[in-house]
A and B are shown apart, each in its own frame.
Chain A
């Protein structure tokens, strides 16, 4: 049994999710990691260091869905598993590859019960589906947040694949939000803000608290739609799925589409004016009150406690 795993990367660096996927699937067999990028070398070096990786394959190509699919397609024949994280590239590419190979994929896996038995959430996480995949080849995506990362003590060989990759689609431009907060999908602490934060300036209060705790910052769809927070901060069914040790939800009602993104959180803290808000009802610790009064005090108290992580 052998595994081909697609590396996630951003800004020329390996994403933290790949280490988690490597650890999650190492029981399936030796893992070859494929890196498809304009400049794959530095990313490949990071991937080669992950414990459990036998080989890293690099393909120099633009990161469009067709080029990544075609790169995977060129190698997929040799593997029993082709795996990616359930992030924007994996979601885009794996179903396309699956149809090209005439395989029904299993995606968004949060639990592995054996080589062909998996659990995935449906209905925004309000139900869990356990499936058995009897196909000879498995095409799978995993939610990285549900798994622990592999160690970085390896030195696997890197092999350059000299293939030319066709793509009718062309990449034109990236529009990114520059921020120095930790990766939302894998952060240990996340602070989320809702539409009641009221403005982009309001979100500075959330960011400030985030800095104090070394936390990533997220938002509800309502806050993103209102233009208070960038779209890549959205948490939920249609945003990022997070599984931090601590989630602090500030002025968030707890609509089921938002809760879908935080089910993996170990502990949930909430600040809300409404004691009946669904999020308050499931919080481990809640504080009822006005976020604008609470936030400056809370940040100051935590700074006093010296939690700078």
Chain B
């Protein structure tokens, strides 16, 4: 099968972000950027399917500024075969991203599209589900297990009550959760080799999609800060403080 993996470049998940004092957004200049962690799990899932002989070709796509090349290279170094950067400096809404990806699906005709379940910058958790709707494919979101069964996938999903297993016929869209696998760190030779793999760059304006935003972001503000309280010296004091809290609680 042919697999398309969508990867996003985001502020590295270990960076403690800073909200700009003027409320216009989060400071991203001079901040370390990386592949979105969930996307890394999606790439790993694709590469593992390749190693099992289930996948014959893995294409990675990223939408964003020129520097998004870096996250495509990360995926190529992990084992994907070729890359596509849809270049734009604009901050696109998830519906626009999904529409651009739907165009890529139309061109590439992958049997499986793998995405991360959410991008850890906007925490939207939209694009996979939107892409499934736009391409009229079944979806299996929040995947922690993927098994190929002929022309179907059996996907285990992480849900509120625990886990569930569903069957989705191919072609399908699957979004990766962190427990799906342990992503590899590409060894240096693979990183070198990635640079010689094909990587096409096309402007986002080329796809005939209206890139305008529907929503207006009025402001970005920092959350209210929590201040340190007190440290108690004994278990009995701690128990008494709990008891005081519990007695104060309004009954629901």
Contact = CB atoms under 8 A, between A and B. Distances in A.
Contacts of B126: 95, 98, 105, 107
B221 A231 contact: no
Per DSSP, are chain B's interface residues mostly helix, strand or loop, or mixed? mixed
Interface residues of B, number: 86
Interface stretch (B81-89, B194-202, B210-218): B210-218
A297 to B, nearest CB: 5
A245 B249 contact: yes
Interface in B185-234: 213-223, 226-232, 234
B36 interface: no
A284 interface: yes
Interface in A219-253: 221, 225, 230-232, 237-238, 240, 245-246, 248
A239 to B, nearest CB: 9
A126 B218 CA distance: 17
A246 B242 contact: yes
B32 to A, nearest CB: 14
B45 to A, nearest CB: 16
Interface stretch (B66-74, B103-111, B129-137): B129-137
A108 B125 CA distance: 10
A159 interface: no
B99 to A, nearest CB: 8
Given A104-B95, A135-B214, A269-B242, A124 B120 contact: yes
Interface SS of chain A: helix, strand, loop or mixed?
A: mixed
Given A99-B95, A286-B231, A131 B120 contact: no
A271 B234 CA distance: 11
Contacts of A225: 179
A127 B210 CA distance: 28
Contacts of B117: 238
B178 interface: yes
Interface in A58-80: 64-66, 69
Nearest 3 interchain pairs by C-beta: A99-B130, A284-B229, A301-B239
21 contacts: A65-B139, A88-B157, A92-B141, A92-B142, A99-B98, A105-B126, A123-B17, A123-B120, A128-B221, A130-B220, A131-B217, A132-B215, A168-B168, A188-B249, A189-B246, A231-B158, A238-B117, A275-B231, A285-B238, A286-B231, A305-B239
